[in-house]
Amino acid sequence: MKPCMRLRATRKNISYGGNVMPCTTILVGKDASYNGSTLIARNDDSGSGHFTAKKFVVVEAGDQPRHYKSVISHVEVELPDDPMRYTATPNATKDEGGIWAAAGVNEENISMTATETITSNERVLGADPLVELVEAVKDADDKEITPEKAGGIGEEDIVILVLPYIHSAREGVIRLGSLLEKYGTYEMNGIAFADVNEVWWLETIGGHHWIARRVEDDHYVVMPNQFGMDRFDMNDAYGDKKENLCSADLRDFIEKNHLDLAIGDNEGWINPRDIFGSHSDADHVYNTPRAWFMERYLNPREYMWDGEDADYTPESDNIPWTLEPEKKITVEDVKYVLSSHYQGTEFDPYGTTGDASKHGKYRSIGVNRTSFLALTEIRPDVPEDHRAIEWIAFGSNVFNAFVPFYTNVSGMPEYMSCTTGQVSTDSFYWANRLIGVLADASYKKSINHIERYQENVQKKGREIIAKYDAAQETVGAGDREALRMKANQEIADMIRKETDYTLDKVLLESSNQMKNQYSRSDA
């Protein structure tokens, strides 16, 4: 080596936290939903200080790559030759690299959402480190001394690697689990899968391990950026595998690294949240309050949620992962809880009563930097070719509208799919971002316009879906897709009209509250 030769080892400043997408997820089993559908929904939130533009598209089988390389981790994966068509909600620009397909439904009505960033602890990450990209070491002459070491798979990649190839929710768990074991991951994530009968939830553990559980049919699950599962049947996971699945060596991994903190014989049951998760002070501001609000709304009478005698508070570490709701859960319920800013409590950042020091104390579920909300509804009483509906909202959920689309189509309307990095009211994403900013600035004056907007769009969306569900019963299979495409365009035209109208209203309200206003008209 030459004297004083400088070695360069560059490593991407990803931090495996810098690109973290803080999100909130709710999963609903078929017997807990209003119409027997499985429901999985997730807010996809941009990291602090930036906003990720999104679009809603269809990926045809011919456009799915056969060789995949991750932009973030540089991992390369060979893919099967038989992908299916699927919907996706990718980034509209390449600012963060990669596609980030995020959520969708394939042509066999299997849905997934990926990912919910979750927490871990030092004992787990020390025992099974995350698989991070390490770039090549080069000398001063740019000659490679040590080759690059690729990282694992992550949020950028998971939908593309899994959704086009799975034929059931369980199969999604198994495929993703095998990819995690082979390639590892550079981050902690939770991923949901659903088909017409089942909902499954998978959580990653360290770099290569994973755990998954079937959501009970009459239960719902809440996930607020924290390791979630609080009960897991190891005997089933290593036996019949009916409700519980995990990486093959998970039991040995736990025992070898002394991870189980339970006292006494747990008869094959473990608490994954205690073993693999976190209980930090930050959780009590950022994560647990979200679980508290969602369950407080869906199970208001079963537990005491407020006051000195509360069973659970916003800072409780033991809020249940899954509960049986007190009434059947609707799409509207899901939208409401995933739009929450703790309305009706003293923690509402828009609140005007109570202790002002508590307003905005906890991180809201519906934050300013939500990129999109997607809910997939797999309906059991509808023919397979139009069974799946995907509900989409863009921008801050407090102020946006939720709209349904058929997924088994060859493309999405331009209003949903045309998003670019340029602000334009021709895009549903940007129009809703503008509405949110303006309505937030004039909250008291604008909230009535927002409520009308949200109600009108969901009502009219349901009307259009019902009309075209009926229309498809009168034609042959070959003509049904054309009807679904027509329905989606009719929905897009409707929401554009409603969105433009609402934008005009909140623009006027905010304009009238500008600091340079003056009450007297010029003479």
Contacts of 180 (CB under 8 A, 6+ apart): 152, 153, 204, 208, 209, 210, 247
Q: For residue 257, give both structure tokens.
A: 């690294």
Q: Is residue 33 within 8 Å of 328, Cβ to Cβ? A: yes
Looking at residue 13, what is its pLDDT? 35
Looking at residue 21, what is its pLDDT? 59
From 4, 23, 246, 418, the catalytic residue: 23
Name residue, tokens 């129009």: 431
Contacts of 107 (CB under 8 A, 6+ apart): 84, 85, 86, 408
Looking at residue 295, what is its pLDDT? 98
DSSP β-bridge partners for residue 211: 203, 246
d(CA 229, CA 243): 13
| Concatenated DSSP letters of 369-401 | TEEEEEEEEE-TTS-GGG-EEEEEEES-TTT--
Segments of the chain with pLDDT less than 50: 1-19
How far is residue 358 from each of residues 103, 318, 340, 396, measured CA to CA in Å? Answer: 34, 23, 16, 22
d(CA 79, CA 65): 7
Q: Is residue 136 within 8 Å of 157, Cβ to Cβ? A: no
Q: For residue 188, give both structure tokens.
A: 């902690």
Looking at residue 523, what is its pLDDT? 62
Helix (H, G, I), strand (E, B) or coil at 27: strand
Q: 504 exposed, middle or buried (CB, 10 Å; 0-12, 13-18, 19+)? A: exposed
Dump pLDDT digits (tens) for 60-88.
Answer: 999 999 999 999 999 999 999 999 999 99
Dump pLDDT digits (tens) for 253-302.
Answer: 999 999 999 988 788 999 999 999 998 999 999 999 999 999 999 999 99
Looking at residue 48, what is its pLDDT? 86
Dump pLDDT digits (tens) for 318-351.
Answer: 999 999 999 999 999 999 999 999 999 999 999 9
Amino acid at the residue 88: A
d(CA 502, CA 504): 5
Amino acid at the residue 510: S
The CA-CA-CA angle for residues 172, 177, 181, to 5°, reads 155
Which runs of consecutive H residues, i.e. helices, occur in 88-188? 122-127, 158-162, 169-183
Active site residue 23: yes
